[in-house]
Amino acid sequence: MDEADMDGITELRDRYLGAIEAAGDEAALEAVRLSALGKKGEVSALMRSLGGMSAEERKTAGPALNALKDDLNTAILTARVRLADAALEARLATEWADVTLPPRPRAEGTIHPVSQVRDEVIAIFADLGFSVAEGPQVETDWYNFDALNIPGHHPARAEMDTFYMARAEGDNRPPHVLRTHTSPVQIRHMEANGVPCRVIAPGRVFRADYDQTHTPMFHQIEGLAIDRDISMANLKWVLEEFFSAFFGTSVKTRFRASHFPFTEPSAEVDIQCSWVGGQLKVGEGDGWLEVLGSGMVHPNVLRAAGVDPEQWQGFAFGMGIDRIAMLKYGIPDLRAFFDSDLRWLRHYGFAALDMPSIHAGVSR
């Protein structure tokens, strides 16, 4: 290798080190690397020319070219780290977030009074040893009526303003109804689980009725306790215990003789209340307010559910959830429950986790 070639290598080294230093970003740096060390790069071409040299020439040119290649590679590596650091710094400078800023405001929902009161009732009865049972909202007329000792000609069928499901011509399935009460869950529960049992069954029920205190869909909670020696006295104790926990004050009940086809004897239950200056107060005074129907489960009902009435007996009751929600929280019009008016929901709705029980107390 002669003087001129060695000068050429020095020139190459200076030129490429300068270009590496000048590269403004990683793409520009890669372009410089390719023009020197890529397949068609200048330095790579020189390396290939080694093959055509004499052994003498190769002795000086080989190490000189290798040193050039090493120098350029080292400079590129250093530059790459420098550029990557600079790019990161630039991103950190533009993408920073102020984690001390308050969050964006979020719309907060509320728990509907029906859901709240249903959960309150479940919590209290759970503490009394009752579990929750459920049944379908579309029922056969057998579960809704016949099994509950309401035969086809019975006036109760008409009184309940039943919604019947439409049936196509030639559809031979039994007639279906929107259940008019939660009582069919009594039958379904005993059929599936047998006795003894202590359950409550909350859910929607349907009747063709509409005014300030009636909506075509409303909510009931059914109670059922069957064992060998359960009596009306047990029913009265359970209900007084329940109402006292629910209203947060000791509440007397009054049983009035009544009639339901599925209970014998039957009683309508009133709770003690007072009316002072248009204010209703539960648990004081000498007024009475009707809140539920109840009684001892009729032997025919037990039989329909496959339970032997010679061995087992017990009580059942049915109570309107919406109605006791209106009483407890002073809500005047039932229809507003189902209007989905946001102002109403915000006013009467509840915060999540507002869950009373017998032990936690019920004060808000």
Q: Which of 294, 307, 326, 328 binds ligand PHE (CB under 6 A)?
A: 294
Pairing of strands 176-178, 138-140: antiparallel
Stretch in the footprint of ligand PHE (CB under 6 A) among 50-58, 102-110, 149-157, 292-300: 292-300
Q: Does 116 bind ligand PHE (CB under 6 A)?
A: no
- CA pair distance 238, 147, nearest whole angstrom: 26
Q: Which of 125, 242, 260, 348 binds ligand PHE (CB under 6 A)?
A: 260
Q: Does 263 bind ligand PHE (CB under 6 A)?
A: yes
Whether the CB-CB separation of 270 and 290 falls below 8 Å is answered with: yes
Whether the CB-CB separation of 182 and 134 falls below 8 Å is answered with: no
Backbone CA torsion sign across 114, 119, 124, 128: positive
Q: Which of 318, 337, 348, 350 binds ligand PHE (CB under 6 A)?
A: 318
Considering only residues 297-316, where is the footprint of ligand PHE by CB under 6 A? 316
Q: Which helix (H) or strand (E) holds 176?
A: strand 176-178
Amino acid at 268: E
Q: Does 218 bind ligand PHE (CB under 6 A)?
A: no
Stretch in the footprint of ligand PHE (CB under 6 A) among 37-45, 83-91, 249-257, 288-296: 288-296
Task: Indicate the residue among 117 and 150 with the shorter CB distance to ligand PHE.
Answer: 150
Backbone CA torsion sign across 161, 165, 171, 174: negative
Q: Does 162 bind ligand PHE (CB under 6 A)?
A: no
Considering only residues 170-199, where is the footprint of ligand PHE by CB under 6 A? 181, 183
Please identify the residue of the shown chain whose CB is closest to the bound ligand PHE: 318
Pairing of strands 131-132, 197-206: parallel
Whether the CB-CB separation of 139 and 184 falls below 8 Å is answered with: yes
Q: Does 317 bind ligand PHE (CB under 6 A)?
A: yes
Q: Smallest gap, in angstroms, from Cβ of residue 222 to ligand PHE?
A: 6
DSSP codes of every residue in 288-317 = EEEEEEEEEEPHHHHHHTT--TTT-EEEEE
Residue 240: CB atoms within 10 A of its CB come to 17
Task: Indicate the residue among 181 and 189 with the shorter CB distance to ligand PHE.
Answer: 181
Stretch in the footprint of ligand PHE (CB under 6 A) among 68-76, 225-233, 287-295, 326-334: 287-295
Q: Which residues bind ligand PHE (CB under 6 A)?
A: 181, 183, 260, 263, 293-295, 316-318
